[in-house]
Amino acid sequence: MPSLALKVYSVFFKLLLKHKLQTLLQQSAAGGTEASFGVASRPDESAAPSNPSFGPDGVATKDIHVDLLSSLSLRLFLPDSSLAPRNGHAPHHQENGAAYGGYLPPVAPPDARRRSHAGSPRKLPVILQFHGGAFVGGSNTSTANDFFCRRIAKLLDVIVIAVGYRLAPENRYPAAFEDGFKVLNWLGKQANLAECSKSMESTKAGGVGDASRSQIVDSLGASSVEPWLAAHGDPSRCVLLGVSCGANIADFVARKAVEAGKLIDPVKVVAQVLILDHPAANPLVPGRGPPLKCMPPTLTVVAEHDWMRDRAIAYSEELRKVNVDAPVLEYKDAVHEFATLDMLLKTPQAQACADDIAIWVKKYISIRGHEFSY
């Protein structure tokens, strides 16, 4: 039986969510200029500032606005292990807390380019993370989500891209889901632009002048290359991680990736982690997408006292019936979003959850040739 504290918390959480939904619906009915552009966070959310230098926890962050027509944004989390030589020796932090540049396009001045510590940059897997918040709240830059993504980046030795998707009711279904797949396509575009930029670098040896190269690169959009991803991202080892309602976005993106196949090359979704499910989007609805047997390996995390627990377990059971690697991790005496709520982030259960996710995900990102095949 759940303790009294857990019961009180559960009731409080539901009442708070109900109040927030009612307030947002009233604001949406009144109209506003934000409706078309959308919002990716709420004023009452505590936000953690980005820091492009490697701090005490060994993770640098930066924010990117990827869509001029909407509020869709990203926060990148880069662990300092990306600076380590391929032989695995400890990385050297930058002096004076300077911002890390990563790889810059060839049109940049030579002294502005960041040289790797091993002659060639170390490539890391990429995790796309979708926060929770019942589709109406939460943020990729919130204090709690920032802490969680830093923990994952460090534990798994990966680049985490936290997606700031558009929230309802300003942008209703399927806006958040569309944003998720848009980011996956953006990741593929970044990989292709990085390769293009490197190809332009090689033209210098063929006698093409800097001015000409600058025009060629700009015409192909190589100036839009994200330097951290160009230097260290390996999109062929991409994992989707969704929390609460974000788990439904992650599952939707996985299905769209299966349908797209090679159209999103070089991106390969090798696994997904679903931390709970949400009744607003049921992955077991018939005709929702490709057959379940086509889905990537899927880890589902549930809490003992979460009212959404049964549906999440049911989804995993259906995946296992068609031979998809789909284990369930259940945590005793835990509540909804226990691994990502600010008040619970430093509990032993939250730390154990991150450790367990790391152990499972590393099966699919550590060994080349082990990728999931569409």
Active-site residue numbers?
244, 306, 336
CB atoms within 10 A of CB 339: 27
Whole-angstrom Cα distance, residue 318 to residue 330? 17
Whole-angstrom Cα distance, residue 335 to residue 307? 9
Closest C-alpha among 40, 13, 4 to residue 344 = 13
Whole-angstrom Cα distance, residue 356 to residue 35? 39
In terms of Cβ atoms closer than 10 Å to its own Cβ (0-12, 13-18, 19+), residue 367 is exposed
The DSSP result for 75-118, as a single string, is: EEEEEGGGGS-TT-PPPPPPGGGPPP-----TTS-GGGSPPPTT
What are the percentages of helix, strand and coil residues in the chain, rounded to 5?
45, 15, 40
* Contact in structure between 298 and 269 (CB atoms under 8 Å): no
The tokens for 220 are: 């192909």
* Contact in structure between 231 and 197 (CB atoms under 8 Å): no
> Across the strands, what pairs with 5?
none
> Across the strands, what pairs with 63?
75
Q: CA torsion 66→67→72→77, rounded to 10°?
A: 0
The DSSP result for 215-270, as a single string, is: HHHHHTTGGG--HHHHHHEEEEEEEEEEETHHHHHHHHHHHHHHHHGGGGTT--EE
* Contact in structure between 229 and 246 (CB atoms under 8 Å): no
Residue 366 DSSP class: S
* Contact in structure between 188 and 266 (CB atoms under 8 Å): yes
